[in-house]
Amino acid sequence: MGNKITEKYFEHSNFADDEKRVLEEVMTKTNFQPEKEIFRGQIYDKDKVSSLIYKGVWQEKPAVLKIQGLQPDVDEIDMIDRFNDQNESAKSDYQNYTTAQNGTNKTVMAT
């Protein structure tokens, strides 16, 4: 597994150019109501946005929405699982990691 994000940086247009349109589309399709942006992933410079994370409400419950602009070749949950599979440091804390992909819930060890 190589680092393809650096290659995609040069291949794709800046996600920042579409972020408002994409958020509005997600809001329309899912009824997610953002309260505030809590994270802005950037790659190499502050104007090149790779992902956005919002705190908000979905189905009348607190929720977090991540919009991934630059799509990695491997899903994030798979990257976490692969890291944990090879990680040899002490593993004492557990956290729930829920992913909307395939509607699965996974428990991931936090180190």
Only one residue has tokens 């428990």, namely 107
Q: List Cβ neighbours of 2 (8 Å cut-off, separation of 6 or more).
A: none
Is the per-residue pLDDT at 1 higher than 90? no
**pLDDT tens digits, residue range 79-92?**
888 888 888 886 54
- Strands (DSSP E) found in the chain: 33-42, 49-58, 61-68, 93-98, 105-110
The single-letter DSSP state of residue 2 is -
Q: Where are the domains of the chain?
A: 1-72, 74-111
Per-residue pLDDT band at 100 (split at 50, 70, 90):
very low
The single-letter DSSP state of residue 73 is S
